[in-house]
Amino acid sequence: MTRTARIPINRGSAVTLGFTWPDGAGAALNLTGWAVDLSEVSPSLAGRVSIQIDDIPAGHVRIDVDAVPDLPDAPYNWFRPRLIPPAGATRALTLPRFELVPT
């Protein structure tokens, strides 16, 4: 079963989400050399959602979603953030799928 983080938003409003990626010990992961991208982006959000690392040493990632006035009702608005390791690391780290639920 796919883990999903459901995030309520106001239909037609832009939204910014932020989180700190933890390391294995629970502290912030220093993201020097890492990259982020989005996978599994639903058609309703294609081209309307972006991700970036906005504080490398503190492991903070920001996701911006443009205002989407015609955003359909759930469960059709999803994406999955992914952290891509620097060269030589073993695998990408993936978060649960995020689903935007318009109200």
Tokens of 20: 């700190």
The pLDDT score that the predictor gives to residue 5 is 87
| Average predicted confidence (pLDDT) for the chain | 87
Q: How wide is the angle at C-alpha 50 spanned by C-alphas 48 and 52, nearest 5°?
A: 170
Q: Is the confidence at residue 2, as pLDDT, over 70? A: no
| Burial degree of 74 (CB within 10 A; 0-12, 13-18, 19+) | middle
The pLDDT score that the predictor gives to residue 102 is 87
**Whole-number Å distance between alpha carbons of 38 and 47:** 11
In contact, 42 and 74? CB cutoff 8 Å: no
Give 65-92 pLDDT, tens digit per residue: 998 888 888 678 899 998 888 876 667 7
In contact, 17 and 38? CB cutoff 8 Å: no
The pLDDT score that the predictor gives to residue 1 is 45
Domains of the chain, start order: 4-102 (2.60.40.10)
> Whole-model pTM?
0.84
Tokens of 47: 């081209």
